[in-house]
C-alpha cells in the first residue's frame, strides 16, 4: 500500500527470502546473516524521512510574486502610459518609458522611500488624465490626483539633497511630470513655469551637459528641451540652452540626427534658442535706446544685433532648403515645419515691432514682408491642424506657434482659425486658457501690427 502524504518514513525493499517469510528487517539489514545466504544483503533504501501528522506537517515554502497593484492604481498607471504614448514631445516613439519604469521600480524599502516622488507623480498624471477623459468617478479621480501630487512634492523636497546619478534622474522625471500635471490643472501656467525654471531646468544645469551625453539623462534631455525652448520663447526669457556647453551638446545631437535624416528638428531647436537669446539682447537695447538722447552712440550695438539676426535668417533658409528637398514625412517633420514658420515670424517680430528705432540709426534688419508672413501663418494653421488630428504629437508643442500666429492674425477668419486650434489644445491642457485670454485682449485693443516697409 502506498504511503500517505503525511507519512515520510523510510521506504525499504526486502530481499526475496525475507519477503517470502514475512520477516521484518533490523534497520537497513535483513534478519538473516549475509554469510548464510548471499541473497540476504543490505536492503535498498529508497527514501528517508519523518513521520508527519496533520498538525506537524508543513508545506514547502514557495516564493510568491509581489502583490498586484490595486485596481484603481493599475488604472491610473495605465492611463499614465496612454498619456505619454499620445503626447510625444520629440516627434518619435516614447522610448523613455522603459527608463522611467526602471527608475520607479526599486528593490529595498529605503530605495522605495527615495523614489516615491516619481511613482506619485506618475499616479497624479494618470489620475488627472482619467479625470480629463471623464472616466469613472470624476470627483474621486481629481481628489486622488491632487493627493498624489502633494505626496510627490513632499517626497521630492527630501530627495533633492541626494546627488547620486539615479536619484537625480528620478528628480528630473518627477519635475517634468509634475509640470505636465500643472499644465492640465492650472490655467495661468505660472506653476508650470516654476517647475520648469526652478525644477527641471535647475536639475539639468546641476547635472551638467556631460551627464546628458548618454543613458537615461540623454533620453530625458531630448524630451524636455523642447519645453525649455518653448518656455524661453513664450515668456521672452533667456535659456541655459544658449550657453556654449549646452549648445555643444545640442550640436552633437544635431550631427547624429543629420547622419540619419536630410534635415532634423535638432538644428531648428538650436536656431530657436539663438532667437530667444537674441530677443533678450534686442529688448535691452531698445529699452536703453528709447531713453537715450544720443542715438548715434548705439550704432555699433545696433549693427551687431542686426548682423546676428541676418545670420539666423540665413541659417533658417538653409534649413528650409534642405528640408524641402528631403522626401521624409512623419511627426517630426510636421513639428519641424510648424516651428520653422513660427520661428521665421518670431525673428521678424524681434525687429519690426520696434522698426522706428532701427530706422533712427539707419540699420537694415531681417524683417519679413506681409505676403511672407501670410504664407508662414497659413503653414502654421495647416500643419497644426494636421498634427492635432492625425498625430501623437502633444498639443502643448503648438502653443508657441499658435501664439506667434495669433499675434499676426489681422482678419476675422484668421483669428477664428487660431482660436479653434487653441480650444482643441484646451480640451486636454487647460493652460491654453491663458493664451486664449491674452489674444482676446490683444485683438480687442485694436492692436496696431508692426510697421513693414514694402519694396
Same domain as 290, residue 167: no
Same-domain status, 223 and 302: no
pLDDT (tens, 9 = 90+) of the chain, 455 residues, equals 565 655 555 555 566 666 666 666 555 556 555 445 555 555 555 454 555 565 665 555 555 545 545 578 889 999 999 998 888 887 766 667 777 877 777 644 455 555 689 999 999 999 999 998 888 777 899 999 999 999 999 988 888 778 788 888 888 889 889 989 999 988 887 877 776 776 788 888 888 888 888 877 888 888 888 888 988 888 888 888 999 999 988 888 766 655 455 457 888 999 999 999 999 999 999 999 888 877 778 899 999 999 999 999 999 999 999 888 776 678 889 999 999 999 999 999 999 999 999 998 999 999 999 999 999 999 999 999 999 999 999 999 999 999 999 999 999 999 999 999 999 999 999 999 999 999 999 999 865 556 544 43
Cite the DSSP H helix spans in 160-215: 165-185, 190-194, 201-207
Q: What is the pLDDT of residue 205?
A: 85
Which residues span the domain enclosing 131?
70-235
Grid cell of 249 as nine digits? 551638446
Closest by CA to 40, choosing from 26, 50, 53, is 26
Q: Quick one: 283 and 417 in the same domain? A: yes
Place of cell 519641424: 336
- Residues in a beta bridge with 13: 44
SS3 readout for 119-153: HHHHHHHHHHHHHHHCCCCHHHHHHHHHHHHHHHH
Same domain, 217 and 77: yes
Give the CA count within 13 Å in the CB-facing half-sphere of 19.
8
- 295 plus 215 within the same structural domain: no
Radius of gyration from C-alpha coordinates of the chain: 35
Q: Are 106 and 192 within one domain?
A: yes
Residue at 346 is within a domain: yes
Asked if residue 224 and residue 159 are part of one domain, the reply reads yes
Q: Which helix (H) or strand (E) holds 273?
A: helix 265-290
- 224 with 268, same domain: the answer is no
b or e along 248-284 (b: 16 or more beta carbons within 10 Å of the residue's beta carbon)? ebbeebbeeeeeebebbbbbbbbbbbbbbbbbbebee
CA distance 282 to 20: 113
Who contacts 201 (Cβ-Cβ below 8 Å, separation ≥6)?
228, 239, 240
**Does residue 285 sit in the same domain as residue 388?**
yes
User: Does residue 441 belong to any structural domain of this protein?
Assistant: no
The model scores a pTM over 0.85: no
Are 202 and 292 found together in one domain?
Answer: no
Alpha-carbon gap, residue 358 to 361, rounded angstroms: 6
Same domain assignment for residues 215 and 344: no
Residues 211, 111 within the same domain = yes
Which residue, 235, 262, 284, sits at the end of a domain? Answer: 235
**Tally of domains within the chain:** 3
The reply to whether 84 falls in a domain is yes
Amino acid at each position: 500500500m502506498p504511503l500517505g502524504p503525511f507519512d515520510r518514513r523510510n521506504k525499504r525493499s526486502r530481499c526475496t527470502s525475507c519477503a517470502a517469510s514475512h520477516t521484518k528487517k533490523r534497520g537497513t539489514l535483513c534478519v538473516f546473516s549475509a554469510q548464510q545466504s548471499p541473497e540476504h544483503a543490505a536492503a535498498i533504501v529508497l527514501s528517508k524521512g519523518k513521520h508527519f501528522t496533520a498538525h506537524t506537517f508543513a508545506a514547502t515554502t514557495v516564493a510568491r510574486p509581489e502583490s498586484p497593484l490595486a485596481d484603481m492604481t493599475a488604472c491610473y498607471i495605465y492611463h499614465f502610459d496612454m498619456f505619454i504614448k499620445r503626447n510625444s514631445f520629440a516627434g518619435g516613439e516614447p522610448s523613455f518609458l522603459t527608463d522611467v519604469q526602471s527608475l520607479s521600480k526599486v528593490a529595498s524599502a529605503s530605495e522605495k522611500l527615495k523614489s516615491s516622488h516619481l511613482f506619485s507623480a506618475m499616479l497624479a498624471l494618470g489620475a488627472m488624465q482619467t479625470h480629463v477623459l471623464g472616466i469613472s468617478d470624476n470627483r474621486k479621480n481629481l481628489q486622488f490626483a491632487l493627493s498624489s501630487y502633494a505626496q510627490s512634492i513632499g517626497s521630492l523636497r527630501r530627495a533633492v539633497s541626494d546627488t547620486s546619478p539615479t536619484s537625480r534622474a528620478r528628480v528630473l522625471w518627477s519635475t517634468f511630470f509634475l509640470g505636465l500635471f500643472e499644465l492640465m490643472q492650472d490655467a495661468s501656467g505660472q506653476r508650470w513655469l516654476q517647475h520648469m525654471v526652478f525644477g527641471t531646468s535647475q536639475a539639468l544645469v546641476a547635472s551638467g551637459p556631460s551627464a546628458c551625453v548618454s543613458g537615461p539623462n540623454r533620453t530625458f534631455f531630448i524630451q524636455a528641451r523642447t519645453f525649455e525652448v518653448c518656455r524661453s520663447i513664450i515668456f521672452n526669457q533667456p535659456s541655459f540652452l544658449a550657453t556654449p556647453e549646452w549648445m555643444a551638446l545640442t550640436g552633437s545631437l544635431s550631427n547624429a540626427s543629420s547622419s540619419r535624416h536630410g534635415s532634423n528638428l535638432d538644428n531648428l531647436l538650436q536656431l530657436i534658442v539663438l532667437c530667444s537669446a537674441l530677443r533678450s539682447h534686442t529688448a535691452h537695447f531698445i529699452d536703453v535706446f528709447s531713453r537715450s538722447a544720443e542715438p548715434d552712440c548705439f550704432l555699433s550695438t545696433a549693427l551687431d544685433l542686426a548682423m546676428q539676426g541676418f545670420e539666423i535668417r540665413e541659417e533658417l533658409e538653409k534649413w528650409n532648403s534642405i528640408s524641402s528637398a528631403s522626401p521624409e514625412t512623419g511627426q517630426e517633420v510636421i513639428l519641424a515645419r510648424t516651428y520653422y514658420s513660427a520661428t521665421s515670424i518670431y525673428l521678424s517680430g524681434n525687429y519690426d515691432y520696434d522698426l522706428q528705432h532701427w530706422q533712427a540709426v539707419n540699420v537694415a534688419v531681417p524683417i519679413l514682408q506681409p505676403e511672407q508672413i501670410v504664407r508662414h501663418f497659413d503653414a502654421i494653421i495647416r500643419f497644426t491642424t494636421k498634427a492635432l488630428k492625425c498625430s501623437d504629437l502633444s498639443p502643448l508643442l503648438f502653443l508657441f506657434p499658435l501664439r506667434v500666429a495669433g499675434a499676426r492674425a489681422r482678419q476675422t477668419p484668421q483669428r477664428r482659425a487660431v482660436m479653434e486650434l487653441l480650444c482643441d489644445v484646451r480640451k486636454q491642457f487647460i493652460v491654453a486658457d491663458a493664451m486664449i485670454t491674452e489674444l482676446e485682449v490683444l485683438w480687442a485693443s485694436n492692436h496696431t501690427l508692426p510697421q513693414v516697409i514694402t519694396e
